[in-house]
Chains A and B, each alone.
Chain A
Amino acid sequence: MKIGRKAAWLAVIAAVVLTVFPFYWMVRTALTPAGDLYTDSTALWPDHPTLINFARVLGLVDAETARAAGGSGAQLNFLLYTFNSIVYSGLIAVVQTFCCAMAGYAFARLRFPGRDLAFTAIIAALMVPPIFTILPNFVLVKQLDLLNTFPGLVLPSLLMTPFAVFFLRQFFLSIPRDVEEAATLEGISRWGMFWRIVLPMSRGPLITIGLTTVVWSWKDYLWPLLAGKAEDTRVLTVGLGVFLQQSPNRGPDWTGIMAGSVLSVIPVLILLVFLGKRLVQSMNFSGIK
């Protein structure tokens, strides 16, 4: 029993080390001068730690210095791409969660013709892999002349996602009706009921869905790559991909790429520090994605 417990802890610690070490190695590589990579690629700490990789990736040094330090002179417009990522994921999360909450409420509580049909259609869309709609949506956004604009980038997921409608409806169904009935007797309007009573009661699931949407859209790659690859609308994931392709001919610029990767993890860490507990608890709440 005692030994079993120790072994169990050992397994958990192994999982933590396996999770954290690759990120440590990312940081370690980013701090290594490119020239040292061949002679000093295995020690746990670089012999000559440096910040030059970050400086050149951010474009803080001139192209010549950057090339001398092992890069291609390519930069990652980190602040712009991060800003774009925040706009992209933030806008989608807020608007989509709100719209899906309204719809979820209507599906859970209002009586209207065609309700079951509409709900079934939305649920059926859950099964359709995104690539199937991405192709025609790309054509649509192109025809609307919205490629490489923010509206074109966010529109396809701005208003809804089937899962959020489904999830929030499930939650609204689980709210006891008594509260709403009492409010009905007060003569409150449907909108007032939704806005002043139901929404405040639903903070938990709304945050769950909102946070999940932020995370997924923050990670999005394929759609922003197709619809917003231009510099002005480039999000962080696409920026990293482009940076990778601009690697010098003789081989990937690993120290630069790892510096860029470290930068791309920073916003995630900030999210985790401020919302980690919420995030973890929100998973207890949902039990499903």
Chain B
Amino acid sequence: MQAVGTRLDAGTDQRQGLPGRRGRARRRRRDDRRVAWLFLLPVIVGFAVFYAYPTVRGIWYSFTDYSLLADPKYVGGDNYRELISDAQAWNALKVTGYYVVVNIVSQTLLALGLAALMHRLTRSVVLRATLLVPWLVPNVTIGLLWAWLLDPDLGFVNHLIGLTGLDTTLSFNSPEWAMPLVALVNTWTFTGYTALLLYAGMLQIPPHLYEGAAMDGAGEWRMFRSITLPLLRPILALVLVVSLIGSFQIFDTVAVVYGGKAPIPETRVIYYYIYQRAFTYFDMGYASALAMVLVVILGVLTTIQLRMLRASRSDLA
């Protein structure tokens, strides 16, 4: 970094007037070059072999017919043409979008509420650690747990619904309930974690703002709207970006709640469909084309969000 060299030179030259300083700093900078590559070597190797190279390969596969058993065969845009007329692919995108909306909206609102309550009530570490547990447990375990709680015959949730006299059965096999349930299960898993991130952001808001507002007679709701929410916006936006990208990767839950069998069409999300095409049908080329579509969607969404994030940064003093 430029500043190291120049600031060092300026300071020492004036103070001590040593003639050799400038030359030594230049030598140090030249040394940096060599040493920098040593510092970077593992990461560069890891990046080149397991990120960059597979990216190139993935793009290439998306233009081939590749069964994993024989060598990839170039087929031009065939995979993409197939994709456009593939109702299952469209369905996968649709249900993933549905999932993302339900999950992100419910998770963010609940987490925001929970964080605000904690912020104004308590700093208990035990409480925070407890709320973090669902996030710490593997999604596979969580999926199994909720598959049992939502079992149509014996599940505890359906027992509770029965007690209220409602004539509904919540089940991952019900076409209308399956996706909302998957989304809510993941909301249950990640709300505590998201709340803690937002809570951490709230801790950075100077407490005297609240004291002043309280003296002016502002109520809690007013303080939340006029102090917490605007000052939290940058962090809220960042949390949203990260959770949105993450929620497109929904896979584990739908992979386990059907007992290891394929999910019903209503919950066959894009990640699962890619997995299925690649490893059940051994159609690596087509799966790669699907993954490319996901890359583009996420790229566009992230860019838009980062723009908005940058716009919201200006709010922060």
Interface residues, chain A, with chain B CB atoms under 8 Å away: 4-5, 8-9, 11-12, 15-16, 18-20, 22-23, 25-26, 29, 37-38, 41-42, 99-100, 102-103, 105-106, 108-113, 115, 118, 121-122, 125, 127-133, 135-140, 142, 155-160, 162, 165, 177, 180-181, 184-185, 190-191, 194, 215, 218-219, 221-222, 226, 236-237, 240-241, 244-245, 247, 252, 254, 257-258, 260-261, 264-265, 268, 271-272, 276-277, 279-280, 283-289
Contact = CB atoms under 8 A, between A and B. Distances in A.
Contacts of B61: 135-136
A257 B260 CA distance: 13
B203 to A, nearest CB: 6
A253 to B, nearest CB: 10
B47 interface: yes
B117 A276 contact: no
Q: Is the interface of A mostly helix, strand, loop or mixed?
A: helix
A240 B141 contact: yes
Given A12-B121, A106-B36, A245-B259, A129 B291 contact: yes
Contacts of B120: 8
Contacts of B135: 215
B177 interface: no
Contact of A194 (B39, B196, B292): B39
Q: Which of B35, B114, B147, B203 has most A Cβ within 10 Å?
A: B35
A237 B192 CA distance: 22
Interface residues of B, number: 108
B255 to A, nearest CB: 7
Interface in B114-147: 114, 117-118, 120-122, 125, 127-141, 144-147
B308 to A, nearest CB: 16
30 contacts: A11-B113, A12-B114, A18-B188, A19-B134, A22-B146, A26-B145, A103-B42, A122-B43, A122-B47, A128-B55, A129-B271, A133-B50, A133-B51, A133-B55, A136-B54, A138-B278, A155-B50, A244-B144, A252-B148, A257-B144, A260-B144, A265-B137, A268-B133, A279-B132, A280-B129, A283-B196, A287-B197, A288-B197, A288-B238, A289-B246
A277 B203 contact: no
Contacts of B104: none
A16 B130 contact: yes
Interface of B: 1-5, 7-8, 11-12, 28-29, 31-33, 35-37, 39-40, 42-47, 49-55, 57-58, 61, 68, 113-114, 117-118, 120-122, 125, 127-141, 144-149, 151, 154, 156, 159, 188, 191-192, 196-197, 200-201, 203-204, 220, 235, 238-239, 242, 245-246, 248-249, 251-252, 255-256, 259-260, 271, 274-275, 278-279, 284, 287-288, 291-292, 294-295, 298-299, 302
B131 A177 contact: no
Contact of B148 (A135, A155, A181, A257): A257
Contacts of A137: 50, 54
Contacts of A157: 50
Contacts of A100: 43
Contacts of B192: 15, 19
A280 B128 contact: yes
Contact of B58 (A23, A135, A221, A280): A135
B295 A132 contact: yes
Contacts of B141: 237, 240, 261, 264-265
Contacts of B203: 284
A260 B138 CA distance: 13
A75 B17 CA distance: 76
B43 A129 contact: no
A74 to B, nearest CB: 12
A156 B53 CA distance: 12
Contacts of A190: 31-32, 35, 39
Contacts of A218: 138
Contact of A289 (B52, B134, B242): B242
A127 B302 CA distance: 7
Contacts of A286: 197, 200
Nearest to A264: B141
Given A111-B1, A129-B291, A131-B249, A258 B148 contact: yes
Contact of B50 (A11, A156, A226): A156
Contact of B200 (A156, A177, A221, A287): A287
Nearest to A109: B1
Nearest to B50: A156
B252 A221 contact: yes
A258 B242 CA distance: 31
A127 B54 contact: no
Q: Which of B113, B137, B251, B259 has most A Cβ within 10 Å?
A: B137
B127 A16 contact: yes
Given A22-B146, A132-B55, A110 B1 contact: yes
A276 B43 contact: no
Contacts of B299: 127
A16 B131 contact: yes
Contacts of B12: 185
B129 A277 contact: yes
A288 B148 contact: no
A193 B131 CA distance: 39
A29 B147 CA distance: 13
A265 B115 CA distance: 25
Nearest to B51: A125
Contacts of A12: 114, 117-118, 121-122, 127
